[in-house]
């Protein structure tokens, strides 16, 4: 028997057809037909109208961003909150796509408001301009990202100083980000090398050369390293502090290996000391007033400086 199943909206029909004739003289086919009726089951009809009540406010977006909640977690929390308040989730645009769209729009408007506010308040306060995503950390890509952020903030003509660590990608003579940025702006900038990075390089080299002598390394840190490290962020103290630290490194009687390694590493990163940065020592309270007078007299003399930047922008 061949069985065929047919159905309409409310009924299902099971029709059986014999695959052979019951007798040779019969021209009629025997059809077994049975009708099965299904009970009416009420179904929940979802509203096709999206909710229009505004629930996701800028303050709520800021809270979600602060705790770094992903879209899925945000969707779950908002639904639970709406139900806890005795409201219907159908009245609010609570779905993953809506949350993502509102989040994006709110972030964009907040960024534009912060940028406009900074331009009116500049230069009375500090402001994070951008956190750009770059393909890699090469000097070319870094310089492009920085110049783009400055252009968007209308600050290309206001930049005077660059502060960065002393890696080759930043301070390279030809392909460093600082050199490329100067070429882009068409003028020289004052370079402040991060002293923390220089001190990190020195400590890393000392530890790598003398891993077993932990006591000697700890002695070096306590006697010489702590004070300069803590005062590194002060640009006015950097010239005098680094020169004093370089003199203190000559302690071969204590540990000749550490002394030689630290002096070699630190001396390679004193290239930032030039007339433009040394003059900041005039604002250092630890520099004697007589030395400051000699510095001013020396700067007033006509002479050719022997100091130059690590890179040579052209």
The DSSP element (H or E) to which 256 belongs, if any, is helix 256-267
Instruction: Give tens-digit pLDDT for 125-156.
Output: 788 888 888 888 899 999 999 999 888 888 88
Q: What does the pLDDT read at residue 141?
A: 92
Give yes or no for a contact between 41 and 52, defined as CB atoms under 8 angstroms apart. no
pLDDT per residue over 79-119, tens digit each?
Answer: 888 888 888 877 887 888 878 888 888 888 888 888 888 87
Nearest Cα neighbor of 14 from 28, 3, 2, 25 is 3
According to DSSP, the β-strands at 161-164 and 32-37 are unpaired
Q: What is the pLDDT of residue 173?
A: 84
3-class secondary structure, 161:
strand
Residue 180 lies inside a defined structural domain of this protein: yes
Q: Is residue 202 part of a domain?
A: yes
Taking the whole predicted model, whether its pTM rises above 0.75 is answered as no
Residue 190 clears pLDDT 60, i.e. is over it: yes
Residues 186, 231: one domain?
Answer: no
Please tell me whether residues 65 and 97 are part of one structural domain.
Answer: yes
In a domain, 279, yes or no: no
Note whether residue 299 is domain-resident: no
Containing structural domain, residue 231: 196-270
Return d(Cα 63, Cα 53) in angstroms, integer. 20
Q: Is 7 exposed, middle or buried, given 0-12, 13-18 or 19+ CB atoms closer than 10 A?
A: exposed
Helix (H, G, I), strand (E, B) or coil at 251: coil
State the Cα–Cα distance between residues 287 and 290, nearest whole angstrom.
9
> Would you give the end-to-end CA distance of the chain in angstroms?
93
250 belongs to a structural domain = yes
pLDDT (tens digit per residue) in 231-276: 888 888 888 888 888 888 777 777 777 788 888 888 887 877 777 7
- Return mean pLDDT, the chain: 75
Range in 131-135, 175-179, 199-203, 226-230 with the lowest mean pLDDT: 199-203
The total number of structural domains in the chain stands at 4
pLDDT at 27: 47
Other Cβ atoms within 10 Å of 195 Cβ, number: 24
Q: Whose CA is closest to 152, among 168, 131, 170, 180? A: 131
Determine the pLDDT at residue 4.
45
Using CA atoms, how far residue 161 sits from 7, 52, 174, 189, 276, in Å, is 80, 50, 19, 5, 11
Rounded to 5°, the CA angle 99-105-110 comes to 120
Helix (H, G, I), strand (E, B) or coil at 144: helix
- Residue 44 inside a domain? The answer is no
Residue at which a domain ends, from 193, 208, 238? 193
* Tens-place pLDDT, residues 23-46: 444 444 443 444 444 445 444 444
Residues 108 and 76 in one domain: yes
Torsion of CA 307, 311, 312, 314, to 10 degrees: -150
pLDDT in tens, 275-303: 778 888 888 888 888 988 888 888 777 65
C-alpha–C-alpha distance, residues 128 and 107, integer Å: 15
Q: Which residue has the higher pLDDT, 164 or 305?
A: 164
Task: Please name every residue paired with 33 in a beta bridge, in sequence order, or none if there are none.
Answer: 15
pLDDT confidence bin for 208, thresholds 50/70/90: low
pLDDT at residue number 145: 92
Is 132 part of a structural domain of the chain?
Answer: no
Same domain, 33 and 65: no
**CA 312 from centroid of its chain's CA atoms:** 30
Q: Which H or E element spans position 185?
A: helix 177-185
Kind plus residue range of the DSSP H or E element containing 76: helix 71-84
**In this structure, what are the phi and psi dihedrals at residue 307, rounded to the nearest 5 degrees?**
-95, 145
Please report whether residue 73 resides in a domain. yes
- Per DSSP bridges, beta strands 161-164 and 2-7 are unpaired
Residue 248: burial class (beta carbons within 10 Å; 0-12, 13-18, 19+): middle
**For 99, which DSSP code?**
H
């Amino acid at each position: 028997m061949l069985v065929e199943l047919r159905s309409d909206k409310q009924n299902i029909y099971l029709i059986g057809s014999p695959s052979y004739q019951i007798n040779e003289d019969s021209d009629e086919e025997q059809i077994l037909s049975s009708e099965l009726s299904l009970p009416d089951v009420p179904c929940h009809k979802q509203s096709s109208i999206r909710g229009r009540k505004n629930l996701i406010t800028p303050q709520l977006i800021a809270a979600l961003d602060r705790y770094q909640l992903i879209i899925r977690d945000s969707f779950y929390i908002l639904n639970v909150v709406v139900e806890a308040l005795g409201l219907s989730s159908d009245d609010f645009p609570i779905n993953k796509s809506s949350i993502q769209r509102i989040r994006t729009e709110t972030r964009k408007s907040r960024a534009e408001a912060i940028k406009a506010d900074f331009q009116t308040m500049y230069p009375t306060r500090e402001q994070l301009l951008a956190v750009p995503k770059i393909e890699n950390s090469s000097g070319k890509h870094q310089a492009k990202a920085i110049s783009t952020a400055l252009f968007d903030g209308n600050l290309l003509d206001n930049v005077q100083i660059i502060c960065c660590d002393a890696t080759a990608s930043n301070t390279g003579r030809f392909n460093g980000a600082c050199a490329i940025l100067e070429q882009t702006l068409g003028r020289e900038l004052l370079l402040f090398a991060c002293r923390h990075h220089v001190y990190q390089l020195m400590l890393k080299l000392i530890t790598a050369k003398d891993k077993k002598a932990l006591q000697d390394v700890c002695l070096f840190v306590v006697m010489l390293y702590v004070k300069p490290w803590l005062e590194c962020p002060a640009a006015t103290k950097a010239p005098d502090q680094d020169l004093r630290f370089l003199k203190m490194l000559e302690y071969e009687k204590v540990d000749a290996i550490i002394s030689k390694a630290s002096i070699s590493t630190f001396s390679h990163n004193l290239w930032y000391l030039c007339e433009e940065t040394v003059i900041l020592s005039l604002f250092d309270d630890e520099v004697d007033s007589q030395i400051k007078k000699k510095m001013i007299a020396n700067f007033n003399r006509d002479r050719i400086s022997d100091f130059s930047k690590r890179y040579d922008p052209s």
